[in-house]
Amino acid sequence: MDPIVVEDRQPALAEAEEHVSRAHRPWRVRRFLQFGGIAAASLVTCAPLFLARRPRTPLRVLCIGAFDYAARLAGHRLDRSRRIALAHACDFGALRNDFYDQHRLKSAEYRRLRRSIAHLVPQTATRH
């Protein structure tokens, strides 16, 4: 094959690829802004948890924000009671993880957390 012909085709292909890339750019920016807005709304919604007693660490608040983000992508929203329940669940999971790592259970903290979790659900749901 003649190298001159190949060299002539390369600029045309590069130009065509650039045109296609430019055509898709507004769509990509719009999607980025859409998902970025959803993520920002999830973090703003969960921001008060940074100052609350539960969850105890900022990483757990970010995890709750991720759950809220996933719910928003599915077309739902987590209300305040669900976010608080997730905060308690994160703390409970961390307490259980400490037990498995250290082979000691912090019984006072465990009882306090179980009591606060019991107050989150309606009494009719916990009765048999």
* SS3 label, residue 122: coil
Which residues of the chain are modeled with pLDDT < 50? Answer: 6
Residue of 16, 96, 84, 90 whose CA lies nearest to 57:
90
111-123 confidence digits (pLDDT tens):
888 888 887 876 6
> pTM higher than 0.85 for the full model?
no
Position 69 scores a pLDDT of 93
Question: Is 61 within 8 Å of 52 (Cβ atoms)?
Answer: no
Residue of 24, 23, 18, 67 whose CA lies nearest to 42:
67
Half-sphere exposure of 94 (CA within 13 A, CB side): 15
Position 66 scores a pLDDT of 93
Phi and psi at 75, nearest 5°, equal 90, 15
Question: Is 116 within 8 Å of 81 (Cβ atoms)?
Answer: no
